[in-house]
Amino acid sequence: MTDERVMGKSEKESIGQIKRKNNYRKSRDESVVRQKVTRTVRESEKLKFEFKKENLKIIPLGGLEEIGKNITVFEYGNEIILVDCGLEFPEDDMLGVDLVIPDITYLERNKEKIKALVITHGHEDHIGAIPYILKQINIPIYATKLTVALIKNKLEEHNLLRTTKLHVVEQGKTINFGSMKVEFIRSNHSIPDSVMLAIHTPVGTVLHTGDFKIDYTPIDDKVIDLGRIAELGNKGILALLSDSTNSERKGFTMSESSVGEVFDKLFLNNTKRIVVATFASNVHRVQQIVNSSVKYGRKIAVCGRSMMNMIEAARELGYIEVPDNIFIDIDNIKNYRDDQLVIITTGSQGEAMSALTRMANGDHKKVTITPNDMVIISATPIPGNEKLVSKVIDELMKIGATVIYSSLEDIHVSGHACQEEQKLILTLAKPKYFMPVHGEYRQLMAHAETAKKLGIEQKNIFIMNNGRTLELNENEAKITTSVPNGKVLVDGLGIGDVGNIVLRDRQHLSQDGLIVVVMTMDSQTGEIVSGPDVVSRGFVYVRESENLMDDVKKVVRDEAKKCELNHIRDWTTIKSNIKDELRDYIFERTKRNPMILPIIMEV
């Protein structure tokens, strides 16, 4: 008989209880293990997901510590979106340079990542460099209707229109580029169709204001969409990049509509011909000039190619409302009395070849300024242009014309926000991080101070430099690496072939002039066979300084003789010795330092 057969009933029950307890413990242990494994898997999946979430990189390549050349890179993973692509006008020491554009070395290295170029508005400092960049990188462009029209004009001039994809985006729409989406938010500026950009990324939303002001009574009745900014702010904005141009000015920027009242006052009972100079891009200003002209029965002639192009584009797209018979050809102004005419022209910044400057100098072929003209300069000088504008005003007054400018009447308002408007955007957006853009260093600092007053911590405010990389996510932001950046100079058809050395030589030539020494030497003996002849440009007039030129020739002959006696036959060494000796001699005699160019021909 087996053990089971001899077991009593109670013993069998005890064994059964033990087995059930063991099975219970076993199943409970297995359940605990399964829970731990499940928890571990979930945590590992969470960690895995968080690891994949990369930082957003914001890299300004232009527009910081300068006014112009605006271009900013937004990079997430393998995607890049560019915001704006502007130019800068040359500084005084950039002799002969036409334009300055940003260095796009970083973009050329990463061109396969670039999804789009998104534009905030149609000013030159935001679209002017597009044709030059497209010659290096072909990328699609997204902008509002008027901005696209202005870009088209540029691309036609450079024969790039057929190869470039231009997309018109309405204000309020969102474009999906993959990991990043860009929302176009209606804004106000001194040109229609301006937008702010909400860039939606996996780590948060970045609001880029572009150039803006808050105008409650704009000419086109399209008020800035503050409601959408507030909505985004309530959801949470990771970072705000905001226009700093007027950050040193307290209060509010005046509404563009206030200028119309001043025009009406100047047009009322005025028997003079009226010439108005303003920015070609300021379509709303042109609309107000048109309104006053219609109201007081005057015809309008347009002067200046950029002004003609802008008005034509704006009329075609419906941004300027004007009766058909109000505009006349500039050639027909002689058929009208002075009190029947308004001339809208370029040249409000005193540019050398602009229409207004040529009028002031008496060089314009079709418009002659007389004492019966009132010239209204409806703009304020851009920093650096004050002397040019003052000179034009002086020349116009010498002719006898009445000149109205910003010091006399409020005939210009800025297109940029002052401190109170900047505070409103900061308050509505409630950003975690803040980066002032579009301004000189002092303006960036003033904007940062405004942000601090509104409670943004110093550690969350980033005063950036062009080329520096700001990496950020929901938890932190830090400045990391630098990328290539700088100024590329455009001179005629040459792009980037004028650098610091060429500019230095141009400055040297402009300040001290040039001396060229030409002579022929025997390659075997090192003896002078012919010359030396001396040619001077911008140093001294040769005929009036014959003695000095004779002494220069003697110095050259003596130095060449030394080289001959020392058996120096290397032309480079001989040229260098002559240049050094001649530089010392000329400085001792004249206290000048001209560029010296020895030319040696051998026989």
Catalytic sites, residue numbers? 243, 416
H/E segment holding residue 511: helix 500-512
Q: What are phi and psi of 526, to 5 degrees?
A: 80, 10
Count of all residues that appear for the chain in the document = 603
Residue 181's CB is within 10 A of a number of other CB atoms, namely 15
Q: Are strands 468-472 and 477-482 parallel, antiparallel or unpaired?
A: antiparallel
Q: Are strands 79-83 and 99-102 parallel, antiparallel or unpaired?
A: unpaired
CA distance linking residue 39 with residue 47, whole number of Å: 12
**H or E segment and range at residue 577:** helix 571-590
The two tokens of residue 540 are: 């001294």
Instruction: Give a three-class secondary structure readout of 303-325.
Output: ECHHHHHHHHHHHHCCCCCCCCC
In this structure, what DSSP letter does residue 373 have? E
What's CA 172's distance to the chain center, in Å?
24
User: E strands of 84-193, at which residues?
Assistant: 99-102, 114-118, 141-143, 166-168, 174-176, 181-186
Largest Cα separation within the chain, whole Å, is 145
Tokens standing for residue 41: 């898997």
Token representation of residue 236: 């949470």
Q: Between β-strands 204-208 and 273-277, what pairing exists: parallel, antiparallel or unpaired?
A: unpaired
d(CA 75, CA 113): 9
* Burial of 166 (C-beta count, 10 Å sphere; 0-12/13-18/19+): middle
Reported in sequence order, the residue ranges of 130-194 that DSSP labels E, i.e. its strands, are 141-143, 166-168, 174-176, 181-186
Give the CA distances from residue 3 to residues 6, 9, 11, 487, 489, in Å, rounded to whole numbers and listed in that order: 5, 13, 11, 99, 104
Closest to 83 (Cα-Cα) out of 168, 163, 142: 142
Cis check: omega of the bond before 532, within 30 degrees of 0: yes
Type of residue at 578: I
Q: Decide if 406 contacts 377 (C-beta within 8 A).
A: yes
Tokens of 138: 């072909």
Q: Residue 407's closest CA among 364, 369, 376?
A: 376
Side-chain half-sphere CA neighbours of 84 within 13 A: 32
Two structure tokens written together for 124: 């030159």
Q: How far is C-alpha 26 from the geometric centre of its chain's CA atoms?
A: 72
Query: Which tokens is 91 given?
Result: 């500084």
